[in-house]
Amino acid sequence: IIGVVFGGLAAIITSLSFGGSVFGGLFSGLCTIIFGVIGVRISCELIILSFNIYGKLREIAENTAVK
């Protein structure tokens, strides 16, 4: 998340320092921050989901094992 925020701030600062359009730089930087944080959250949730699925499959395998 810190990297996403720094990347967005870098986009804003770069566009302002190199004479780019102020609106374009602010817009791209804010979009990078907003959608980047959302993307990080989604990827973390998918990782958690995969571990939960693995745990449930392991329980099913243990419960259906022939004793």
Query: What are the tens digits of pLDDT across the range 52-67?
Result: 999 999 999 999 987 7
Task: Quote the domain boundaries for residue 13.
Answer: 2-64
Q: How many whole angstroms separate alpha carbon 31 and alpha carbon 67?
A: 56
Query: Are the beta carbons of 14 and 26 closer than 8 angstroms?
Result: no
**0.95 exceeded by pTM:** no
pLDDT of residue 49: 97
Number of folded domains in the chain? 1
Close Cβ partners of 60 (under 8 Å, ≥ 6 residues apart)? none
pLDDT of residue 29: 86
Query: What are the tens digits of pLDDT across the range 24-37?
Result: 778 888 999 999 99
First to last CA, the chain: 47
